[in-house]
Every structure is written in structure tokens, then in C-alpha cells.
Amino acid sequence: MPAVRAHRRPRAEGVSAFLVPTETLGFSRTEIKGKLGLRGQATAELAFDAMRVPASTRLGAEGDGFKIAMHSLDKGRVSVAAGCVGIIAGCLDAAVSYSRERQQFGRPLASFQLVQDMIADISVDADAARLLVWRAADLIDRGEPFGVAASKAKYFASEAAVRAANLAIQVFGGYGYVDEYPVQKYMRDARVMTLYEGTSQIQKLLVGRAETGVNAFV
């Protein structure tokens, strides 16, 4: 069998990271409005136009910028995954309590097998996502490599958060679609989790590369 070689990424070389003071000439930010979710948090586009920054603001060694950015993304992925565990837990709490309160055909929704099926799926996803986050966090605490564990946690927890929010809306029926209850917000907030800090496709490429030793990034 031929040996498989990981490809080097020449584009990453020569990149340095800088901490840029916001008052630097050439720096500007423009708020991005009209987001589907995360409406309590401002998001802005940052522009760096013909800026000059002193070498004293450089983070780490010259040429290490890409490595530094990727390392901080790895940690960020564990934070995003942990946030997703919170969303899934919120979906579970909301779905369980509503299913116990809401009466249909003289019985609580919780007594219908197909409603329990949805709640069981949310509950299993909550546990699985939490355990993946704990594993990644434990590797960080022990100072061991955690990048692939972070990708797995982020991929699974973010997709699970979208599934959980979707199911929670289903348990609520029509009330799930209006803002009287929180589950529509969980869906709007969950949706970005599969996108930022590396999309689900990127996490799968990272996991696939770790498993096969072949770089499928283009």
C-alpha cells in the first residue's frame, strides 16, 4: 500500500497575527443587521484598510499567525459546543414541561408515545453532546492535543442543537412557532452554531483528515 502524505498548506506560511488597537488609522467596523438569531448580541464586519501596525503588537512569532488563529479556533469550538449543550438542555426543559402541562384528548401530551419519542431524541442528544464537550475540555485541562475532539464536539453538538430546537417546536405544536414560548428563539439561535467557528462540513473534513491521514481541503 502506498504511504499517504499529508499535504502542506503553503498559503498558511508568512501569515502573522497582530493585536490591533481599535483607534488605529484604517480600522473600521460596520454593524451587521437583520440576523436570524443571536439578536441580543451585536455582530460587526471589521475592515483593515491600508493600516500600519507596529511590530510590538504582533502576537507570537513572525509567521505563526495561522497556527495561532487555528489554535484559538480549536478552543472556540469547544465553547460553541458547550453553548449548544445549553440550547439542547433548554429545549429539553421546555419540551418536557410543556408536554406535562398541555392537555389534548383529555390527556397530557407527555402520555403520547410519539411525543415521548421526540423528547427521548432530545435527551439522548443532550447527553451525547455534553459528554463530547467534557472529553474535549478534559483534554484541554490535561494539556493534551484536543483539536479533533473539539471538532467532533462542535460538529455533533451544533447539529444536535438544531435537531433539538426543531423537535422542541414540534412538541409545542403551533405555540412553538410564536414568541410567547422560547423554543422559536432556540431554533433561531441554534442555526448559526453549525456555521461559525468552522462549518459542519469543515469539522467533518478535519475529522476525516485525522482518520485517514489524507487532506481533502481544497
Ligand X SMILES: Cc1cc2nc3c(=O)[nH]c(=O)nc-3n(C[C@H](O)[C@H](O)[C@H](O)COP(=O)(O)OP(=O)(O)OC[C@H]3O[C@@H](n4cnc5c(N)ncnc54)[C@H](O)[C@@H]3O)c2cc1C
Active site residues: 197
d(CA 109, CA 105): 9
d(CA 59, CA 38): 30
Least Å distance, CB 93 to ligand X, is 25
Radius of gyration of the chain measured on its C-alpha atoms:
22
Least Å distance, CB 45 to ligand X, is 9
65 Cβ contact partners less than 8 Å away, ≥ 6 residues apart:
15, 16, 17, 59
**How many angstroms from the chain centroid is the CA of residue 34?**
20
Residue closer to ligand X, measured from CB, 108 or 208: 208
Residue closer to ligand X, measured from CB, 16 or 116: 16
Least Å distance, CB 110 to ligand X, is 35
Residue closer to ligand X, measured from CB, 35 or 135: 35
Integer CA distances (angstroms), 9 to 69, 90, 210, 217, 218, in order = 15, 41, 16, 10, 10
Burial of 16: CB neighbours in 10 Å, binned 0-12, 13-18, 19+: middle
Q: Which positions lie near ligand X, rule CB under 6 A?
A: 35, 38, 43, 192, 195-196, 199, 201-202, 205, 217-218
Residue closer to ligand X, measured from CB, 20 or 205: 205
